[in-house]
Amino acid sequence: MEENLNKHSNISAADLDRLTKEASEEATPSSAKIVWNEFKADRPAFIALFIVVGFILFVMIASLFINTPKMMETNIMNYNISPGTNGYTLGADAGGRSIAQQLIVGSRNSIGIAIGLTIISSTFGICWGLISGYFSGYIDWGMQRVYDFMMMLPMTMMIIVLVTIIKNYNAVSLTLIFSIFYWEGTSRLIRSRTLSESEKDYVAASKTSGTSSLKIIFREIMPNISSLIIVDTTLSFAENIGVETGLSYLGFGLPIQTPSLGTLIANANDPNNITEYWWTWLPAALLIIVLCLSISYIGQVVRRSADASQRQGDAEQ
Amino acid sequence: MWKTVLRRIMIMIPEVIILSLLVFLLAKAMPGDPFTGSINPKSDPAQLHHLMEMNGLYDPWYQQYWNWVVHLFHGNLGNSYQYQEPVTRLIGSRAVNTIWLALLTTVLTYCFALPMGMFAAKHEGKLPDNIVRIYTYVTYSIPFFVVLVIGIWIFGYVLGWFPTTGSVSATANPGLPTAGSHLYHILLPSILGALFGTVNVVQYLRSEVIDAKRSDYVRTARSKGVPEKDIYKHHIFRNSLLPIAAFAGYSITGLLNGSIFTETVFSYPGMGLLFINSINYRDYTVITALVLIYGILNLLGTLLSDIILSIVDPRIRIE
């Protein structure tokens, strides 16, 4: 490539190097780089990112070494033993099951469902919003009525009813049930941005030159609102952790044999547990708080980097 | 204005019909029947059969749905199988509790959020603004049921300041003491709900006030020599308040969805707890009625907000 260039021009290799370097310095940094700079500039955000990524990795790996059915076996000798005894770091619950192990497996399940839910519901919501916003008119009107209808449904109740109907549900079917109800927020946000985006000149130009609608939507409009999509996805991830754990807490999320952070907190429903055996539920509650705070803080930082006027990372370049 | 409202109501009708059909079919699809719970080894299959027939549970679903709708328009939502009591009366008694809880939460939310939003906007970009921003971010991020559980643990059990179950103390005298006991029981959940539900109102009020601060009428007032305090009190706050009132409708929706958690944690006998109990007993009539009521209340809440907004902001109106 370099030799080829040299044949047709008389720029020396050293000059070429220098020019490339200069050009890359002057070019606008890529969005990944902007986000990274933003994290480097904001120490707490860096810590939050570290906590979240580190914790997810730890939980994924550690849960591989835990035999879940064996962990969930009742062991009456260890009834509610306090933390630090018999090798139970965080004590045991009323069935003599180790809280520490349940926390690890439970976090894996809860985070896994939250990730699945975020991916499915965001993808659907983004497509819905893009299509609805791009084809204004009857298509948009029809899609908006569906949206209105979904907004009217009492979500928690509908999920509980659906969960009771399905006999042998597992993590996958649970994620799908949640996804039915959690795409509206995303779709509304994306729709309003797409509406304003499709009035811009580049879309009109693309239409005149005969580009297909699908290509305009997904190859031209979507990249232009990608920062909004990233921000929304991060923030809804934090929310989705609350969705699954909340339903599991009520007893309509993951089945009892599958630990989740929500089922652990449900130990607090017993007035005995909540005061005397606090270790059965408090660690899970604190863990959820730390996780949700960290994730939505990361979301705030990503949002800031998407908005050039609020960036902090630029100054230190 | 009236056109907007009328049009919204026309759209609502098919929505409610679809919802009722959906709810009815879903309730029918639930496993077990309402009598499963009362079967014991001695019960006679023939009698059970008779019960099922009496209640029309063998009819085709569209027949059952039609009967249900006809009864609905007569104000009859059927009998609860679990409580052996008309559903309307059962829900009526529980709804009062839920409504009081929601009302107090809304009032307290505005009490906390309005000063916070004003304060943040007044000191835009400075320390108080940042503190309010961090506060709303923290309260918004934490799942609400975790807050409730920790709240009841600290204030209900450890400190013992608030009751942890029920809606009224059994020993309270009728009259004022009973009312006081009711209030005492909903105080903790309402305060928690209000403290952790401010984010929408605060952010909206803040941006409204910041917009108003730069508007012409404020500049006029300032150049006239109106004291800064009065500008905020009489000019900015009044103008920013009306759009905020519109949030009351939306907040009903949020509170209703949250009521299931609040009432479960505090064992508070409202509609949310009734729903959870009915699910466990497969009490179809109560489940369908509750989902329908919640759906309609959601619709009315949104409608209320939209009406207020269209009064305030003429751009939203349909011509």
Place of tokens 């009973």: B178
The backbone torsions φ and ψ at residue A92, rounded to the nearest 5 degrees and listed phi first, read -140, 160
Mean pLDDT computed over every residue of chain B: 81
| DSSP code per residue over chain B | -HHHHHHHHHHHHHHHHHHHHHHHHHHHHSSS-TTGGG--TT--HHHHHHHHHHTTTTS-HHHHHHHHHHHHHTT---EETTTTEEHHHHHHHHHHHHHHHHHHHHHHHHHHHHHHHHHHHHTTTSHHHHHHHHHHHHHHHS-HHHHHHHHIIIIIIIS--S--S-SS-TTPPTTHHHHHHHHHHHHHHHHHHHHTS-HHHHHHHHHHHHHHHTSHHHHHHHHHT--HHHIIIIIIHHHHHHHHHTHHHHHHHHHHHHHHHHHHHTT--SHHHHHHHHHHHT-HHHHHHHHHHHHHHHHHHHHHHHHHHHHH-GGGS--
Sign, CA torsion A186/A189/A192/A198 = negative
| Mean predicted lDDT score pLDDT of chain A | 81
Instruction: Give per-residue pLDDT as tens, A177-205.
Output: 889 888 888 898 899 888 888 888 888 88
Q: Is the pLDDT of residue A120 over 90?
A: yes
Task: Give me the CATH code for the A46-70+99-316 domain, please.
Answer: 1.10.3720.10
User: Which is the CATH superfamily of the domain at B87-312?
Assistant: MetI-like (1.10.3720.10)
pLDDT for residue A83 is more than 70: no
Low-confidence stretches of chain B (pLDDT < 70) are 1, 31-43, 54-58, 170, 172, 313-319
pLDDT of the residue at B226: 83
User: What's the pLDDT score for residue A76?
Assistant: 64
Contact between A202 and A220 under an 8 Å Cβ cutoff? The reply is: yes
pLDDT at A149 over 50: yes
Between chains, do A296 and B137 touch, taking CB under 8 Å as contact?
yes
CB contact under 8 A, B153 and A249: no
Contacts of B23 in chain A (CB under 8 A): 161
User: Angle formed by the axes of helices B2-29 and B284-312, to 10°?
Assistant: 160
What whole-number percentage of chain A has pLDDT above 90? 7
Identify the contact set of chain B against chain A, taking CB-CB distances under 8 A.
11, 15, 18-19, 23, 26-27, 29-31, 137-138, 140-146, 149-150, 152-153, 157-158, 164, 256-257, 260-261, 264, 275-276, 279, 287, 290-291, 294-295, 298-299, 302
- pLDDT band, residue A317 (cuts 50/70/90): very low
Given 3-state DSSP classes, what are the helix, strand and coil percentages for chain A, each rounded to the nearest 5? 75, 0, 25
A281 vs chain B: nearest CA distance in angstroms?
Answer: 10
A212: number of CA atoms within 13 Å, CB side?
A: 3
Query: pLDDT-derived band of residue A316, with 50, 70 and 90 as boundaries?
Result: very low
For the segment A43-72, the average pLDDT, to the nearest whole number, is 83
Count CB-CB contacts under 10 A for residue B52: 14
For residue A214, pLDDT over 90 is answered with no
User: Which ipTM value was assigned to this complex?
Assistant: 0.84
User: For residue A127, what pLDDT is reported?
Assistant: 92
Confidence grade of residue A115 (pLDDT, cut at 50, 70, 90):
very high
More confident of the two residues B60 and A311: B60
pLDDT-based confidence at A308, cuts 50/70/90?
low
Provide the pLDDT for residue A117.
92
Q: Taking each helix axis from N to C terminus, what angle separates A184-197 and A99-134, rounded to the nearest 10 degrees?
A: 30
Write the Ramachandran bin of B85: left for phi over 0, alpha for psi from -120 to 50, otherwise beta.
beta
B79, B86 contact by CB (below 8 A): yes
Any CB–CB contact under 8 A between A297 and chain B? yes
The pLDDT confidence band at residue A96, using thresholds 50, 70 and 90, is low
Give chain B positions within 8 Å (CB) of A149: 15, 18-19
Given a contact cutoff of 8 angstroms between Cβ atoms, the answer to whether B259 and B189 are in contact is no
What three-state secondary structure class fits A92?
strand
Q: Look at residue A176 and tell me whether its pLDDT is greater than 60.
A: yes
Residue B39, phi then psi, degrees to nearest 5:
-80, 135
> What is the reported pTM?
0.82
Cα nearest neighbour of A270 on chain B: B265
Neighbour count for residue A295 (Cβ, 10 Å): 24
Checking if the pLDDT of A167 tops 80, the result is no
Rounded to whole angstroms, the Cα distance separating B316 from A99 reads: 54
Say whether A154 and B257 touch across the interface (CB within 8 A).
Answer: yes
